[in-house]
Each structure stands twice: as structure tokens, then as C-alpha cells.
Amino acid sequence: MKARHKRLGFLIVGLVVLGLAATLVLKALDSNLSYFFSPTEVAEHKAPENHVFRLGGLVQPGSLERGKELTVRFVVTDNAHEVKVAYTGILPDLFKEGQGVIAQGRMGPDGVFIADEVLAKHDENYMPPEVAEALEKGHQKGVADMAKGGKSL
Amino acid sequence: MSSRLINWFKFSSPATFYPLAGKIARVSAVIAVLLLAIGLYMSFFVAPTDYKQGEGYRIIFIHVPAAWMSMFIYLVMAFWAGMGLVFNTRLSAMMAQALAPTGAIMTFIALWTGAFWGKPMWGAWWVWDARLTSELILFFLYIGFIALQGAISDARRADRAGAILLLVGVVNIPIIYYSVKWWNTLHQGASVSLKSGSSMSAIMLETMLIMTFAFWAYSIAVALYRVRSIILEREKDARWVSELPEIRS
């Protein structure tokens, strides 16, 4: 066995051990590394109840209400569970109904999440407006066809 | 062994690699300028506006190539570090050293442009989610490597210490890449991946790929120019250096 083979062996064993250690650490930290809790996790009481956490999901279409001054109310959903959110402040540009959102705050006693910061979450889709429009039309047509009982794709 | 077409070990000698690096660097520099000109023109004038983000999305044409390069350069450095430890070749450590500043700059560009994009789109310059934090750690790894190499005056010991740091840090690369998959993050998932293709419109993707190749060519060019300087500095007492035409004159 040449010296260089020995060193190569050490190197590979070292990297494997390192990889294993990293995997175990990350497994142990798993839930702490997530940036937000989903409404389902809130419903299952996995989110902290007495201190600040972040709630992430989609803004339910049709749920946005603008109240007095800058207070807005909306519902965050992950299509399984829903959480009501109240927020006073300026919303980011990408904030829209149906769009991803992350709110930081705590649960109020009445089950409304009182947010003190709202961030918009962008998805990985990039396209020109004409394409988005065409997709939306196609989607609406599909929904209409399904409602009529026609064959869906 | 003699049946091999190219004797790779021949180029692990600084004396033979020095002129080759010069040739490749010159060609890469020309390619980088050409591709950057085409890529930037396409970024600003050819690629259409995004349906949701408006014009602000154009920053990805810098952000994504820089972020890819930041991860890839680190992998290449770790490869050279491993080569240097196993084969004891002088040139390997020089290559790792030459790539480090470029990698650090790419990481910095990715973080910086990300902050510029994050403020209008997310509503925050910076958040401590898994993707952003692991990329920041990558930046610290580059800076740490440069500092460690600079702090040890004996070149061989500096190389070994740097190589070990590089190899330990390599676990961070899959963490950065898969962070958006493994955990909930504010950063969006990958728009382009080998497995599921791309979720961008074709012209946007093409622009981004041209910019990526431009960044590749730029990185190769500056890293090779830098490695030439490092070779001259480290081998300044060698005979072949004193016989170089540019040194003699």
C-alpha cells in the first residue's frame, strides 16, 4: 500500500464520518431549522403557544379585509387548516390573495394570530404576464368544464 | 500508464502549467467579456417583465449565476485541497488559493443582490432562514480560508491547514443546495433543477444560462491569472522562473 493510497483512505473515511456527523446534527435540529409553522402544525399544537413564532401559508382568496387605519385581517391556509391573522402595518408589494405569506407574531386568546411582521413568500415560477394570463384562462376554462361535468384533463 | 493520451501529472508541475494557464486565461477572458455583453443586453432588453414581480426580478440574472458559482467554486477548491493532501502536488494548493477570492466575491454578490431583491419582494433585507444562513456560513468559510492561509507563514503548513478547513466545510454545500427542500424557508425553491427541469419561461432561462457561462468564463480567467502570480511568487527561486522571457527582460 502506497502512502498516497493510505492518505486517500484517510480522506475518504474522514469525509464519510463528517457527513454522518452533519446528518445527525441536522436531524436533531430538524424542526428548529424550519423558518415557519404551517396552519396544520398550529392546529396540531406543534407551534409554540405562549411565545413568538412564524406562521406560513397562502393568503386565502377573498379573506382580506382592510379595517381602520392600517390594520388588515386575512386568513392563512395550507388547504387543510386555516388561521386568522390580524396585522397593523405596511404590507410588502408581493402580498396578494392566493400568494404565499409568512407572518411573525403570537396567538391571541381568541385564536387570532396577531402579527407584528408580514413577509411575502415568492414561489419559483418566473414568466411574462401574457403567459400567466393564458395559464389563468386555461385554468378557469378547466374549472368551468369540470363544473359542467365535462371531462377534465 | 504509457498508453494514456495525456499525461495529467505533467500539468501538475508549475513549470508546465504556467504557460498553459496563461493561454486558457486569455481565451476565457475574451469569452467572459463577449458573454457578459450578450447576457446583460438580454437581461435588460430582451427578457420580458415578470407577471408578478415586475422589473425587479431581473436581479436573478446576476443573483442565481453568482450563487451557483459560489457553491461550485467551493467544490472545486475542496477537490484541489483533497488532491493536494493525497498526492502532495504543489500546484493543487495554489489552485485552491487562487480560487478563494473569486469564490468569496461570488458569495458576496449572491448575498448582496439577494438583499436588494428581498427588500421590495419579501419586505425584508435579511431573514435567518436555512438558505440565507447557510450561504452566509459559506461566505465565512471563504474568508476563514483566506485568513488561515495568510496567517501561517510556512507555505506547506498553510496549505495543509487550509485544505483541512476546506474539506470540513464541504458539508455545507449540500446543506445550502437542499435547504429549501429539507426545511420551510422564506427563500423560494429551485426554479431550475436537473430532475424537474425549469419553471421559468424559456427566454428568461436562456438569459440566465448565458449569464452563468459568462460567470464561469470570468471565474476561470481570473483564477488562472491569479494562479500564475502565485506560481511566480512561490517558485521565485526556481531556475525555470528566472529563464522566463518576461522575467529576464
Residue A39: which CATH number?
A: 2.40.50.140
B83-111 mean pLDDT: 94
- Residue A60 falls within a domain, yes or no? yes
Query: What is the domain range of residue A100?
Result: 35-121
Do A24 and A62 belong to one domain? no
User: In chain B, what percentage of residues exceed pLDDT 70?
Assistant: 96
ipTM of the shown complex: 0.72
CB contact under 8 A, B127 and A119: yes
CB contact under 8 A, A34 and B184: yes
H-type alpha helices, B187-244:
202-234, 239-242
Asked if residue B180 lies in contact with residue A106, where contact means CB atoms within 8 angstroms, the answer is no
H-type alpha helices, B42-171:
60-87, 90-121, 130-151, 155-169
Chain B segment 84-103 residues within 8 A of A by beta carbon are 85-88
Do A74 and A108 belong to one domain? yes
CA–CA dist B152, B146 (Å, integer): 11
Give Dmax over CA atoms of chain A in angstroms. Answer: 79
CB contact under 8 A, B122 and A14: no
Residue A37, beta-bridge partner list: A55
Burial A41-73 (b: 16+ CB within 10 A, else e): bbeeeebeeeeebbbbbbbbeeeeeeeeeeebe
CB contact under 8 A, A26 and B53: no
- At residue A96, does pLDDT exceed 80? yes
Nearest beta carbon to residue B188 from set A14, A22, A122: A122
Preferred mutation among B12, B51, B172 to probe A, highest tally of A CBs within 10 A: B51
**Torsion sign over Cα B137, B143, B144, B146:** positive
Do A81 and A112 belong to one domain? yes
To 10 degrees, what angle do helices B60-87 and B155-169 make? 120
- At residue A30, does pLDDT exceed 80? no
- Residue A10 falls within a domain, yes or no? yes
CB contact under 8 A, A131 and B51: yes
Domain count for chain A: 2
Do A117 and A42 belong to one domain? yes
Q: At A83, list the grid cell.
A: 388561521
Q: Is B148 on the interface with A (CB under 8 A)?
A: no
Do A11 and A84 belong to one domain? no
Do A40 and A20 belong to one domain? no
Do A39 and A72 belong to one domain? yes
For residue B1, the model assigns a pLDDT of: 44
For residue A123, the model assigns a pLDDT of: 77
Residue B45 is given by DSSP the state I
Do A19 and A69 belong to one domain? no
CA–CA dist B175, B170 (Å, integer): 9
For residue B44, the model assigns a pLDDT of: 92
More confident residue, B20 or A128: B20
CA–CA dist B138, B77 (Å, integer): 13
Please state which of the ranges A81-95, B127-141, B192-206 shows the lowest mean pLDDT: B192-206
Kind plus residue range of the DSSP H or E element containing B24: helix B14-41
Q: Is B49 on the interface with A (CB under 8 A)?
A: yes
Pick the residue from chain B with its C-alpha nearest to A132.
Answer: B51
- Residue A139 falls within a domain, yes or no? no
H-type alpha helices, chain A:
3-29, 39-43, 129-147
Do A61 and A100 belong to one domain? yes
Q: Is B196 on the interface with A (CB under 8 A)?
A: no
Residue B57 is given by DSSP the state G
What is the value of pTM for the model shown?
A: 0.84
More confident residue, B8 or A58: A58
Q: Is B41 on the interface with A (CB under 8 A)?
A: no
- Give the DSSP letter string of A84-126: EEEEESPPPTT--TTSEEEEEEEE-TTSEEEEEEEEEE--S-B
pLDDT in tens, A102-151: 898 888 888 889 888 888 888 777 777 777 777 777 777 776 666 665 44
pLDDT tier at A35 (50, 70, 90 boundaries)?
A: confident
Do A44 and A90 belong to one domain? yes
Q: At A132, list the grid cell.
A: 400567466
Do A44 and A116 belong to one domain? yes
Min CA distance, B52 vs chain A (Å)? 7
Q: Is A61 on the interface with B (CB under 8 A)?
A: no
Average pLDDT of chain B is: 90
- Residue A140 falls within a domain, yes or no? no
B103-122 mean pLDDT: 93
Residue among B9, B160, B170, B10 nearest B79 (CA): B170
User: In chain B, what percentage of residues exceed pLDDT 90?
Assistant: 61
- Residue A67 falls within a domain, yes or no? yes
From residue A30, how far is each of A22, A86, B174, B197, B206 by CA, in Å?
A: 12, 29, 15, 28, 36
Q: Is B229 on the interface with A (CB under 8 A)?
A: no
**Torsion sign over Cα A85, A88, A94, A97:** positive
- Residue A87 falls within a domain, yes or no? yes
Q: At A149, list the grid cell.
A: 361535468
Do A99 and A110 belong to one domain? yes
